Amino acid sequence: MSSSSATPADLADALRWQAVQASATTPSVRGADWRLATVATVGTDGTVTTGDGITARRMDSYLTPAVGDQVVLTVSGSGNWLALGRTAPATTAGTWQTLSLNTGWSPFSATYYTPAYRINGDGTASLSGLARAPASTTGVATVGTLPAAAAPAKRARHVTEVASGVFGVLDINSDGTVQITDYTGTASWAALDVATRYRLT
């Protein structure tokens, strides 16, 4: 249809169609179908409520909700909200961090990983590396101390090797201390890789 034969009705239809197209491609007009929010309260029924009052059902993968989490929310056409999970923090959580070793303890050698911890983001943490013990280490000995964020709410125990053919227990305590115990003789090292995953809460 040429412009010379267009009627006022045709022009009105064309303008309406342009408005629909503009709305479909402009978030401020159509409304976003997802957003970021901060958790204000955690419900006992599988929901979280955000600071601006939205109550959303948690996805099964969002296992350990906490007040202050920044989460991704999505909403259905019928107005039902889902909390997909938390966003990655701006900190170094999830990467290996050097474990603060107790006096006299040191990384075993360049052949092994340096003693380290990692917060996994799913309510667990991990240890890695081999720490050399001070000379004449016997009994309960503190290898190092974890920051509060990596300390379990309850003591976590793992069987570990403390010398060639000598086995004991690696205790990860709620105060953050990492200790070797329950072995006989003298310890030469503490193998931390046995704590591949331990609960935080």
What structural domains does the chain harbor?
Answer: 32-87 (2.40.50.140), 97-199 (2.60.40)
- pLDDT tens per residue, range 131-190: 999 999 999 999 999 999 899 999 999 999 999 999 999 999 999 999 999 999 999 999
Q: What is the pLDDT of residue 194?
A: 97
pTM of the entire predicted model: 0.59
- Measured in whole angstroms, the distance separating CA 78 from the mean position of its chain's CA atoms is 31
Per-residue pLDDT of the chain (201 residues; tens, 9 = 90+): 555 566 767 777 777 777 666 555 554 454 558 889 999 999 999 999 999 999 999 998 888 788 898 999 999 888 899 999 988 765 555 789 999 999 999 999 989 999 999 998 788 999 999 999 999 999 999 999 999 989 999 999 999 999 999 999 999 999 999 999 999 999 999 999 999 999 999
Q: What is the pLDDT of residue 112?
A: 96
Which H, E and C letters describe the chain, residue by residue?
Answer: CCHHHCCHHHHHHHHHHHHHHHHHHCHHHHCCCEEEEEEEEECCCCEEEECCCCEEEECCCCCCCCCCCEEEEEECCCCCEEEEEECCCCCCCCCCEECEECCCCEECCCCCCCCEEEECCCCEEEEECEEEEEEEECCCEEEEECCHHHCCCCCEEEEEEEECCEEEEEEECCCCEEEEECCCCCEEEEECCCCCCEECC
Q: What is the pLDDT of residue 139?
A: 96
